Amino acid sequence: MERLTVIGSGTMGHTITLNAAWAGIPVNMYGLTESDCAAGIDGIRRKLEVLVSNELIDASEVGGIIGRIRPLSSLKDAVKKADFIIECVPEDIALKNNLFRQLDLECGPGVILASNTSGLQLSDIARGTRYPERILITHFWNPAHLVPLVEVLRMPVTREEVFSRTMALLKLMDKRAIEVRKEVPGLVGNRLQFALFREAQHLLDQGVATKEDIDAAVTFGIGRRLSVTGPLLSADMGGLDVFDSVSNNLFKYISKAEQSYPELQKLVSEKKYGSKNGQGYYEWDEQFSARMNELREQELIRLKKADQLTK
């Protein structure tokens, strides 16, 4: 079994740590400070309470899961005996590149270094390292302990053994790993997500529908189907002749904007960032925020249970 270290105890770091420990893997969780580590463990405990209340785990398992997690605020100690390291620091290329250069010096050439980035170039992250052949991307989706997808991107120089060990670890963590075969901005998931978001902005900008109805078109329509059949499988089921015809008629009307739309730019300029500070497209008071977070978590738990039934 890989000796795993997760660098970061924040939003992604602590949920990836929980995911690994839940799968039976001992894991070091590095945080910048002891208080960061404590906050990460507190977040893990709260999520475990939810998993117990929803019967995804038994209360008797909680101690074992927590016992497999070792929070550390010393990077040197966190990576000293690691075989596999997953980095979850903020999306800043200088920060990530400096960290990977440091890890490259600290760790032997057999240690795999994986970045959780979704938007930065792998070649930029690995630049200047001695052993780029052991570096790749493992992009988890938030919250990592409930969303199965992980996008894996390797470089042409990445060793086959590095890729196979990565896929084996992700399988052990009960993830649905996909291989991204070309280095493109946004990988696969974010390109699909932001294509939809661009068109949603366009429809709102054009006054085609309200924000509530645009969201409802997804949550009560295509979102229901896409949770079972992705866009290409859906096209097969709908008939490729039909999808070809609609594509030829519709594509010319779909947004080709190269920047975000004025309404989003206005909200950002006014420092209205959404749920993180109480105002975005929607008003995020405490009650609404709690309700939406609970609804999303409960739906992800329902799908997690369904996944377990189909194994």
Give the active site residues. 151
Q: What length does the chain have?
A: 311
Token duo for residue 203: 């429809």
Asked if residue 280 lies in contact with residue 273, where contact means CB atoms within 8 angstroms, the answer is: yes
HSE-CB at 10 with a 13 A cutoff on CA atoms is: 9
Asked if residue 31 lies in contact with residue 73, where contact means CB atoms within 8 angstroms, the answer is: yes
Helix (H) or strand (E) holding 57: none
Amino acid identity of 87?
E
Token duo for residue 302: 């329902």
CA distances from 282 to 26, 93, 208, 292 (A): 41, 31, 18, 11
